[in-house]
Structure 1
């Protein structure tokens, strides 16, 4: 480094070195921070073009620990400070107040304690303060009310106490205030401790307010009437506080997308308490309405059924609402989640419920609905869970329920249902939990019950079923709890039942007969109940059954099938014993080291109990999503937010997926790969095998959620669910760099085999991270061909729409197969169209759609959101990435054409004709750089 440059910028140079000295850097992210190169080229450091002074410090997601050095205050030209998603402790140094040019402070997802420094009020250029998910305590400094440019302040998930300062009424530029996580169903999260009443000025002195989120706190009093004056509000979350009284009119909030009033003390069970709903009729963008867990009474007003048809989440749970659900419920065709349980609704479930074809979750339980279950409910083909328990439903179960082929949970218990259980219902392959108890069902269960694939379920059939026991049980290998009590079951209890890994078995009050065995579960009296079966005998003494009388059998009672099963079992047992002897022999000959943690010494194997606690018992509120081989939960481990992937070991291929992911992630590390923190390989509380992987949590979810938003938990699409051109380019480059690393730079080449938007996760800074290595494959170094021990022709090699065409003819996985998947993904990113869309059929696919229109008919294929950005020159400023004001139409269109051309070149049908991933990386970077050179950044320095 030239000494003159060091002298001219000595203050910044020394401040950065002091900043580095205060932290630990396990990933060696700051290895470049040395005197061999100018500090403006250090990782995470950006300097202004004129004076070469530090204007941006971005060290997001680097696993840094230690504390923020007070020398940070010497970077007097600093405008943007981003330290999110690390493990900083200590405090926010008061010296931050010396950064007079600071515009954005973002230190979320750390372990920072102490109070919010009042000195930040000296940073008069501040437009955003993001300090969520830390350990900050104490009150909000009143001094922050003097910041004239403050547009966003986020302090969710801390220990902030006190009230909202009255000085905040002076924040005339304020658009977004986050005092709670952007989650509607979030009672399990640790709240802040803000209290008192909401300021009466909210809607009057804060006219630009768009987001007001103070849920999960201790606020009380009434909701301010002035809120209706905040006409720009799109997100209002005051749920899970102690608000009481009536909800004021919200008639002027025509832009409102999310209204969360859940978990308060609103209403007194009186008849007119839902009248405010009439004021929401003009909110045509309303997507989520949460009124659950209050004391609202009376009937839903007629105007309720005139709310926006964009409504996708409706929660009325646990109130005192009366009346019926009219046929107008069918107007809400966008509904994904409908919960009206624990109220006083009466009448029939309307036939028009079948119009809600997007519905995934339906809960009408614990009401007073009567009559039959409408057959139209079979139209809800996307339904995952349906709860109609504890009502007065009668007649038979409709066979049309069998059309709900994605159903995971079905609860119809405690009704007055009659007739047999339809074979179509028991043939649903996805069912995991079924509760039909306390009805009046009869008849026999069909043989088709054998197709059920049950995973860790409890089966409750406490009804008057008359069924041949053998037919029922032969296929329930995943059962843990079986309750068939209080029925009319007869015959002998089959001997194989003792071989099930059941935790509880209730056969009480039936008509079983014969000798009860004494092995398996039957040797533990605390796990079984057989009382109320007077014809049973024998068993262990603790059961106090009568002794069996000896009698001769004229012939063997074994059927031909049983004999075949026993013979086969004996053969397998014999072979297993021989193999066991051989294995022991060879183990004695070869001294082997004990198996090591698949992730090396740096990662500990966490216990099942710690993951159970981290996720609140793997609660529904913690569930992030369900995949092919398991479920992903959000949790907190050692005070750090993580994503926990729990394998469904009953699913074929799940164990291989776990091992493949362990092997793939053991020795690879790249900024654009999902980072695995640890693993769990053990048993659960019932002694069953349990395997899980723990990843860094990605706050912005998956790329799929941004490209194809259906239900935005936070806002309407126009606010936070949009990626501009530069962001999409950056994410595409992130993905390409990850693939290039896997193929060319990771030692043994690794093929991902399942590149798609849902497997690309986005961190706080919208950096893309490729994840889910459950199908990953390794290439042999010697032959560059697929290792035979790693492959099977029967294994799935990806997802329909993204899988290379040669895989369909039996070709082995290859790096060019990944390139094809990347090409399709790239086309999807910039067209906004899924490769499996209805328009693509009969040989006409996404690639053909794009190729046939390039370069002249760009407007026919590009994502309309991008075209709108081109026309208006706008881009959302909420995402914290590149800010640009305008790009000429010609330059914009030229960039789009080139990017789409890369996608076409990568997704050629012939593997030999595809562009290499290295070329793709270079092309995309070149296009991005060219685009940004033509963008207007304003006066940088």
Structure 2
């Protein structure tokens, strides 16, 4: 300081200034050195948490160099701090180090497309300068760190494709600069926070493939910059808020695979003019396909499959040159008139189309030849489960890019075009369930890339082409249920890739079964129901992956090969109804996973093995083999009468012992029976002529799945053909199910004295034992060819013209059911309460006459001197959810008023098309309250749309007036029948009277209106 004092003042000040600058510079260098050093330590710690075997891409990361020179590291322009880290796609595995939070100047963190595990450390919330955070496509789990919302500068947050299980935080709205929020393909749950609507900068929301619930918040309608909204594959419910359709900036709107409902606005294409992707499939949307979507000339994807859409395909499909996917499958779309399929021709303008699905609808007509002019890029064409007729256009052979062609389950006839053999890239061909005739073209053997072919359930004739041996990529082949003849080609038993199914059953194939060649990976072989003869090849043991082998109903002879015991994975083996002889190989005991073995109706003999599957008698079928010995060692022929005498004596003694024990148990049980049960035991016996178990087994083709009509609470119903030619419905009771025996007796009791044109006729019954000596109970009813009312309401059945039930048919059905209940309640010899009235228990005959069936829960009321005695199938709550009257839940006994309530619910469902258990009826809203509320304004709001389209299609403007005249009275009966208080309900006889009056008014009105085509409107059929 003394030195400074001797200098001039101005010079001293200059030196002081230079000293201070030098000091600051030295401090700055030291600070920078410390900062880059701390970043280096943080990155080294980050590296230390990664798996050693994936660190090769980070070999440059070491203490001897600056982090700014390391792989994936970005520094600021002065090299003082790490501002970016991009390690995407390097295959890194291991955990995220919490030291990542020390990179305080980090602006971009990209770790996507790796194999990182563990949780996201909370220290991530310390990166206050972060603008981009992308950890997508890893295996991160745990919750979203709560302090992620502290990253105020964040613009992109992408954590998609991980295993994060968490709610979306409510304070997510604090990220006011966020433009992209991508959390899809995780395990997020809970509701979508409405606060997201406050992030006005958002352009992309992707929450698809999670477990989110609740409604879509209408607050999202405030996001006027939104380009993408992806909420697919969640559990969202309710309607789409109308404000969503006002987000004119949307390019991708994907709401598929939820439980959303309501109508899609017809002007959606006008409101969302920038749409490129519209994905609403797998929901419950109603109404028609919005025609405005066909005006979006730049749109790429339109997906509306698996909804409840109706009507026709709107015009305009020819306006979409860039369309790549059009999927409207599994709706209720119809084609109208001779030009109803012209939309297929319109799609020829979409030269980039690669996916077209119109399957599972009600389209009908001849497939146009113009289908061959569709895009050469078309790879998948789904047209199955419609009503197409005519032949397969040969022009399909021009669709050179096709990989999948599905025309199954239509009414197509004619031959299979040879031109299909030109589809060299085809991998899947399904023509099943049609009426295709002629032979299988040899040209199909040219489809060298084919891995699945299904030609089953047609009328194909001739031989199986040997050219199928060329299909060296085939995984699945089903040619069953045709009229193919000749022998089984050895070529198809040498396909090494055939690993799924080989099904040639139900044809006229003959000759011996060839030796199995290279067919060693197949899982299921079915050659049953043919005319094959000779022995069973032991080479089946070469099929090391075989799980199911069906050779039943042929003419096979010889012994069962011991080598079958080597097929260790065999779960099902059916050799029944052949001419096999000899002993059952003991080697079959080695099949430890065998669940079902059917050797019935052969000529087998000897001792039945006792190990393996033979220990479970419920899993084996041995009936029809008279020489088999179940309980005693078999004696060789010629050992004299003594051995047989001893066996007979043993059997007789065993039977005597069993009868004695049974008698003692019967006497004991009889003593403890209550008086009421003893008094009514005689009444519980069925009073109809019996039919044998064998007759029913043959009538139903051994109770085959093909003849299964339905499954109920106490058993299954099969279609059968009795020996005298009658077609019947056989209800087989599940005797192991609690209450089935009482159900059997209750049904017999209810039906034995009941005769009415609107009751399903009970023909006979069967009370016997099956081939396993188990109890067998069955009821045989008349067969009603038009199925159940439930099928018609849900659109599973329609008339030949494609229409469902019209107004007069529904009214007639309601009257039929009401008349049946009126008879049961008031005119039957013994009053009967049905207790389980619902659409599935109402069947329709050929003339659409409705008949009430299934009296398994019925209750007969027999008046005696003291009280009423109930003869019923069960004493628990009776009925089916949605149709049970409220008083039953309070402990009230079943009554006629309870049946009236159930009838009222059925009536409301019949005319609204909506089930009482529909998901929309929640929180106190029921079908009755819904209909009653709508009646105050316009009943048309709750009427089945299909009924409206049939009734008012000529002059829709008259709809509201017509429905007031036609439907109010009918729906009003349903309201009167479903009052909560049983005393306030009308009687069933009053319901019949009111419904008939409504029908009379309809007929009178139609007679007074000559300008209407009455037959077309009402299809009047008075019963």
Q: Which residue among 130, 142, 156 is the counterpart of 1:54?
A: 130
Task: Identify the residue that residue 213 of structure 1 maps to in structure 2.
Answer: 279
Q: Is the 8 A contact 2:335 2:341 kept in 1?
A: no
SS in 1 for 2:532: coil
Deviation at 1:442, TM superposition (A): 1.4
**Alpha-carbon distance in 2 for matches of 1:256, 1:104:** 26
SS in 1 for 2:309: strand
- Is 1:345 aligned to residue 412 of structure 2? yes
**Alpha-carbon distance in 2 for matches of 1:514, 1:52:** 84
Task: Identify the residue that residue 496 of structure 1 maps to in structure 2.
Answer: 563
**Alpha-carbon distance in 2 for matches of 1:269, 1:412:** 34
Deviation at 1:179, TM superposition (A): 1.2
Q: Which residue among 273, 289, 292 is the counterpart of 1:223?
A: 289
Task: Identify the residue that residue 160 of structure 1 maps to in structure 2.
Answer: 236
SS in 2 for 1:54: coil
- Is 1:145 aligned to residue 221 of structure 2? yes
Q: Which residue among 352, 357, 362 is the counterpart of 2:429?
A: 362
SS in 2 for 1:485: coil
Deviation at 1:231, TM superposition (A): 1.3
Change in CA separation of 1:93 and 1:551 when aligned onto 2, cut-off 3 Å: closer
Deviation at 1:96, TM superposition (A): 2.8
Change in CA separation of 1:528 and 1:336 when aligned onto 2, cut-off 3 Å: same
SS in 2 for 1:281: helix
Task: Identify the residue that residue 383 of structure 2 maps to in structure 1.
Answer: 316
Task: Identify the residue that residue 173 of structure 2 maps to in structure 1.
Answer: 97
Q: Is the 8 A contact 2:313 2:335 kept in 1?
A: no
Q: Is the 8 A contact 2:330 2:359 kept in 1?
A: yes
SS in 2 for 1:434: strand
Q: Which residue among 123, 126, 129 is the counterpart of 2:205?
A: 129
Moved more, 170-179 or 403-412: 170-179
SS in 1 for 2:171: helix
Equivalence map 1:610-689=2 (5 Å): none
Deviation at 1:438, TM superposition (A): 1.2
**Alpha-carbon distance in 2 for matches of 1:227, 1:340:** 26
- Is 1:532 aligned to residue 613 of structure 2? no
TM-score after normalising by structure 1: 0.51
Change in CA separation of 1:435 and 1:126 when aligned onto 2, cut-off 3 Å: same
SS in 2 for 1:309: coil
Change in CA separation of 1:371 and 1:61 when aligned onto 2, cut-off 3 Å: closer
Deviation at 1:307, TM superposition (A): 1.6
SS in 1 for 2:437: strand
Change in CA separation of 1:84 and 1:30 when aligned onto 2, cut-off 3 Å: farther
Task: Identify the residue that residue 203 of structure 1 maps to in structure 2.
Answer: 269
- Is 1:40 aligned to residue 106 of structure 2? yes
Q: Which residue among 623, 627, 631 is the counterpart of 1:546?
A: 627
**Alpha-carbon distance in 1 for matches of 2:461, 2:149:** 72
Deviation at 1:539, TM superposition (A): 3.8
Change in CA separation of 1:299 and 1:494 when aligned onto 2, cut-off 3 Å: same
Moved more, 97-106 or 347-356: 97-106
Q: Which residue among 371, 387, 399 is the counterpart of 1:332?
A: 399
**Alpha-carbon distance in 2 for matches of 1:256, 1:523:** 54
Higher relative contact order (CA 8 A, sep 6+): 1
- Is 1:114 aligned to residue 160 of structure 2? no
**Alpha-carbon distance in 1 for matches of 2:353, 2:606:** 64
- Is 1:510 aligned to residue 578 of structure 2? yes
Task: Identify the residue that residue 435 of structure 1 maps to in structure 2.
Answer: 503
**Alpha-carbon distance in 1 for matches of 2:208, 2:599:** 55
Q: Which residue among 439, 445, 467 is the counterpart of 1:400?
A: 467
**Alpha-carbon distance in 2 for matches of 1:522, 1:98:** 67
**Alpha-carbon distance in 2 for matches of 1:177, 1:417:** 50
Q: Is the 8 A contact 1:289 1:314 kept in 2?
A: yes
- Is 1:175 aligned to residue 251 of structure 2? yes
Change in CA separation of 1:142 and 1:495 when aligned onto 2, cut-off 3 Å: closer
- Is 1:487 aligned to residue 563 of structure 2? no
Q: Is the 8 A contact 1:521 1:527 kept in 2?
A: no
Moved more, 225-234 or 271-280: 271-280
Q: Is the 8 A contact 1:512 1:536 kept in 2?
A: no
**Alpha-carbon distance in 1 for matches of 2:217, 2:572:** 56
**Alpha-carbon distance in 1 for matches of 2:357, 2:437:** 26
Change in CA separation of 1:519 and 1:63 when aligned onto 2, cut-off 3 Å: closer
Deviation at 1:194, TM superposition (A): 1.5
Deviation at 1:327, TM superposition (A): 1.2
SS in 1 for 2:136: coil
Change in CA separation of 1:44 and 1:533 when aligned onto 2, cut-off 3 Å: closer
**Alpha-carbon distance in 2 for matches of 1:38, 1:537:** 85
Task: Identify the residue that residue 880 of structure 1 maps to in structure 2.
Answer: none
Q: Is the 8 A contact 1:464 1:488 kept in 2?
A: yes
C-alpha offsets along residues 416-459 of structure 1, whole Å, 9 cap, x if unaligned? 11111222222111122211111111123344x23211243344
Deviation at 1:137, TM superposition (A): 2.4
Moved more, 124-133 or 404-413: 124-133
Q: Is the 8 A contact 2:167 2:188 kept in 1?
A: yes
Change in CA separation of 1:240 and 1:519 when aligned onto 2, cut-off 3 Å: same
TM-score after normalising by structure 2: 0.47
SS in 1 for 2:580: strand
- Is 1:238 aligned to residue 311 of structure 2? no
Q: Which residue among 258, 261, 265 is the counterpart of 1:192?
A: 258
SS in 1 for 2:195: helix
Deviation at 1:280, TM superposition (A): 1.2
SS in 1 for 2:460: strand
Task: Identify the residue that residue 276 of structure 1 maps to in structure 2.
Answer: 343
Q: Is the 8 A contact 2:371 2:396 kept in 1?
A: no
**Alpha-carbon distance in 1 for matches of 2:492, 2:481:** 18
Change in CA separation of 1:269 and 1:527 when aligned onto 2, cut-off 3 Å: farther
SS in 1 for 2:484: strand
C-alpha offsets along residues 136-192 of structure 1, whole Å, 9 cap, x if unaligned? 223223332333322111111122222222223332221111112xxxxxxxxxx31
Deviation at 1:93, TM superposition (A): 2.8
Q: Which runs of 5+ in 2 are unaligned?
A: 1-26, 36-92, 113-126, 611-621, 629-633, 639-1023
Deviation at 1:304, TM superposition (A): 2.6
SS in 1 for 2:419: helix
Q: Is the 8 A contact 2:104 2:129 kept in 1?
A: no
C-alpha offsets along residues 653-681 of structure 1, whole Å, 9 cap, x if unaligned? xxxxxxxxxxxxxxxxxxxxxxxxxxxxx
Q: Which runs of 5+ in 1 are unaligned?
A: 9-25, 181-190, 553-941
C-alpha offsets along residues 9-61 of structure 1, whole Å, 9 cap, x if unaligned? xxxxxxxxxxxxxxxxx9541422344x4351896599xxxx99321122335
Change in CA separation of 1:302 and 1:336 when aligned onto 2, cut-off 3 Å: same
Task: Identify the residue that residue 251 of structure 1 maps to in structure 2.
Answer: 318
Change in CA separation of 1:492 and 1:551 when aligned onto 2, cut-off 3 Å: farther
Superposition RMSD in Å: 3.3
**Alpha-carbon distance in 1 for matches of 2:519, 2:313:** 47
Task: Identify the residue that residue 588 of structure 2 maps to in structure 1.
Answer: 520
Task: Identify the residue that residue 6 of structure 2 maps to in structure 1.
Answer: none
C-alpha offsets along residues 323-364 of structure 1, whole Å, 9 cap, x if unaligned? 110211101111101111111100000000100010011111
Deviation at 1:476, TM superposition (A): 3.1
Deviation at 1:512, TM superposition (A): 2.4
**Alpha-carbon distance in 2 for matches of 1:64, 1:439:** 54
Equivalence map 1:704-715=2 (5 Å): none
Deviation at 1:381, TM superposition (A): 0.4
Change in CA separation of 1:468 and 1:195 when aligned onto 2, cut-off 3 Å: same
**Alpha-carbon distance in 1 for matches of 2:324, 2:172:** 36
Deviation at 1:89, TM superposition (A): 4.0
**Alpha-carbon distance in 2 for matches of 1:213, 1:123:** 24
C-alpha offsets along residues 178-218 of structure 1, whole Å, 9 cap, x if unaligned? 112xxxxxxxxxx3121111122211122211001111111
SS in 2 for 1:505: strand
